[in-house]
Amino acid sequence: MTALRTRHPDPSPTRRRLLAAAATATLAAVPVLLVSNGSDAAATGCSAAYAVTSQWSGGFVAQVRVTNLGAAAAGWTVGWSFPDTGQRVTSGWNATLTQAGSTVTATNPAWAGTLATGAVADFGFQGTSGSVNPVPTSFTLNGVACTGSTGAPSTPASTRPSTPVSTPASTPVSTPPSTPPSTPPSTPASTPPSTPPSTPPPAVSGVHGYATVNGTTTGGAGGSTITVTSLADLITAAKATATSTVRVSGSFSCSADVQVASNKTIVGVGSGSGLTGCGFRLKDVHNVVLRNLRISKVLAANGNGDSIHIETSDHVWVDHNDLSSDTSHGTDYYDGQLDITHAADYVTVSYNVIHDHIKCSLVGHSDSNAAEDTGKLHVTYDHNAFRNCDQRTPSIRFGTLHAYDNYFVNGTTGIHTRMGAQALVQNNVWSGVKTPIETTKDSDVDGYVNQSGNDFGGGTNLITRTGSFTQAPYAYTLDPTANVASLVTAGAGTGKVTA
């Protein structure tokens, strides 16, 4: 058995769920299974969705969502059989997965045992496959069959995840924590290689981090897909209320924010598609994915002045983008590259290149906004490259930051916590940054940091308070610090994922 803004300027003039099911990776031609047993059996049944979110020669990543149409269950077990003998689960998340022959069983983690009527069990896995990767044709929930039809299998994509798959073992693949998400496991599920690969593969990770906590981030999965080739069409498609994936083909000049609606994926085509002069604004929205976009030179006077601006919104994944301006203008000529403000919550920022800017990323816009921000602003920053960012990588007030496996090159200050913000900072690498971490200055109240495994590159920290945030409420794997620079350099930015 294999177990498997309305812009609110910063007062400081010198500083500032489960894995998404279906198509958050917005890859072309993924196989999707939608099955339902019909309303006549709803009292004892379920519906299921299965999607392959990335494929490569010999392997794939898939996501599963099963909805309970029957009575509430104190625990859940999802089962299916792979159609091909070469299909094997090698690692998983948000469920304990085991495999015997072709039969796979996924059991609830300890913190997600109760499944109410209408509730959803969401989990994902990485696997190996032979020459074909057919979609399973049936699922069960607690032994009750979900029946229906399947979509057609797709041609494997040419990319693969950053973490190599391992040979299936006879022990659980991703053992879940035995306590609720406030105390997840501190030990990674697997140990990456101790030396960097000779050619680090580009990263194609699924949604993870805080974007998977207390909900799910699927973006436009399950909706229509549209390709836009003009700014006008992008503006129309991005603000449309229907669930959809918007493929951006081309680079468009603009001077006002592009508003993004809920349940939307915006993904660039190729490595150069995006915006120049304006950015994307997410306000009062939910469940948004922004990937593979190149955004540059957003003037402070244009809209919110940020390449990506997120406020009063939740469950957002910002992944594999390139955000930049220049450092030859004054501090306030541009504003931020990526600002997360006004009680925004459950945001993951991963595999982005953020560069040549002064005030790069701000979480929490003002010392006076405690009433709105306290208990919110949960953010994950991982595998990002910050290059020539003078400050704020990020700076955070009031919220909770998990920063791991990031690579910082050149700057005055790096991660800055204040106004009681808590940060867990792990296995990051700095080079040429004067103060990699600080918890004081620029605000009346200091912040908190717990840090481990970091390479500060000769910089000197200014840490005044050690915090209580020691374990993130989700599963993750730390790359060895010695590997971070090469892995991030190879894997972050545009052109690494397929629209």
Task: Answer whether 436's CB lies under 8 Å from 456's CB.
Answer: yes
57 lies in some domain: yes
Confidence of residue 90 (pLDDT cuts 50, 70, 90): confident
Which residues, including other chains, have CB under 8 Å from residue 430's CB and lie 6 or more apart? Answer: 408, 409, 414, 436, 454, 455, 456, 457, 459
pLDDT of 41 > 50? The answer is no
| pLDDT at res. 113 | 66
Is the same domain home to 137 and 240? no
pLDDT tens-place string over residues 206-265: 899 999 999 989 999 999 999 999 999 999 999 999 999 999 999 999 999 999 999 999
What pLDDT does residue 161 have? Answer: 38
- Does 116 lie in the same domain as 238? no
% the chain with pLDDT above 70: 78
pLDDT at position 60 is 82
- Looking at the structure, do residues 128 and 240 belong to the same domain, yes or no? no
Measured between alpha carbons, how far is residue 57 from residues 148, 345, 487 in Å?
29, 37, 21
Give me the pLDDT at residue 112, please.
Answer: 63
Read off the pLDDT of residues 384-433 as tens digits, 9 standing for 90 and up: 999 999 999 999 999 999 999 999 999 999 999 999 999 999 999 999 99
Q: Tokens for 446? A: 């200091």
Where does residue 199 rank: exposed (0-12), middle (13-18), buried (19+ CB within 10 A)? Answer: exposed
Any domain includes 139: yes
Q: 474 in a domain, yes or no? A: yes
Question: Which residue among 133, 150, 167 closes a domain?
Answer: 150
Does 142 share its domain with 229?
Answer: no
Residue 204 pLDDT exceeds 60: no
Give yes or no for residue 40 having a pLDDT over 90.
no
- CA gap 274, 251 in Å, rounded: 5
Q: 216 and 135, same structural domain?
A: no
Domain assignment present for residue 163? The answer is no
Q: What mean pLDDT do residues 294-321 have?
A: 96
Residue 187: is its pLDDT beyond 60? no
Q: Is the dihedral of CA 259, 369, 316, 456 positive or negative?
A: positive
20 or 68, which is more confident: 68
Domain that holds residue 445: 209-491
Predicted local confidence at residue 420, as pLDDT: 98
The confidence score (pLDDT) of residue 89 equals 85
CA distance 192 to 174: 14
Q: Are residues 79 and 213 in the same domain?
A: no
255 and 328 housed in the same domain: yes
Strands (E), 209-366: 224-228, 244-248, 251-253, 258-259, 264-268, 274-276, 280-283, 286-291, 294-296, 308-311, 314-319, 322-324, 336-341, 345-350, 353-363
Which stretch of 78-92, 279-293, 403-417 has the lowest confidence by average pLDDT? 78-92
What is residue 182's DSSP assignment?
Answer: T
pLDDT reading at 98 higher than 50: yes
Which pLDDT score is estimated for 118? 75
CA distances 300 to 249, 307, 332, Å, are 25, 10, 7
Q: What is the pLDDT of residues 49-83, one digit of tens each?
A: 888 877 777 778 788 888 888 888 888 888 999 99
pLDDT of residue 234: 98
Same domain assignment for residues 222 and 83: no
Residue 138, Cβ density class (10 Å: 0-12 exposed, 13-18 middle, ≥19 buried): middle
Does residue 238 form part of some domain? yes
Instruction: Look up the pTM and report it.
Output: 0.63
Residue 487 covered by a domain: yes
**Does the pLDDT of residue 45 top 70, yes or no?**
yes
Q: Which of 117, 135, 150 is the last residue of a domain?
A: 150
Nearest residue to 474 via CA among 16, 93, 137, 60:
93
Tokens coding 324: 């930049």
The last residue of a domain, from among 150, 171, 196:
150
Catalytic residue among 247, 291, 392, 418: 392
User: What is the model's pLDDT at position 124?
Assistant: 79
CATH classification at residue 375: 2.160.20.10
Model confidence at 29: pLDDT above 70: no
Q: Are 135 and 214 members of one domain? A: no
Which is higher by pLDDT, 74 or 174?
74
Tell me how far apart the alpha carbons of residues 172 and 176 are, in angstroms, rounded to a whole number: 9
Same domain? 224 vs 318: yes
Same domain? 116 vs 246: no
| Same domain, residue pair 99 and 240 | no
pLDDT of residue 415: 98
Q: Is the pLDDT of residue 116 over 90?
A: no
Q: How confident is the model at residue 147, as a pLDDT?
A: 61
More confident residue, 256 or 91: 256
DSSP state of 406: -
- For residue 195, name the pLDDT band (cuts at 50, 70, 90): very low
Q: Tally the domains of the chain.
A: 2
Give the domain CATH number at 125.
2.60.40.290
pLDDT given at position 46: 85
Among 115-119, 220-224, 280-284, the range scoring the smallest mean pLDDT is 115-119
Q: 191 in a domain, yes or no?
A: no
Q: What is the mean pLDDT of the chain?
A: 81
- Told to judge if 465 belongs to the known catalytic residues of this protein, a careful annotator would answer no
* Digit-coded pLDDT (tens) for 346-395: 999 999 999 999 999 999 999 999 999 999 999 999 999 999 999 999 99
Does 58 fall in a domain?
Answer: yes
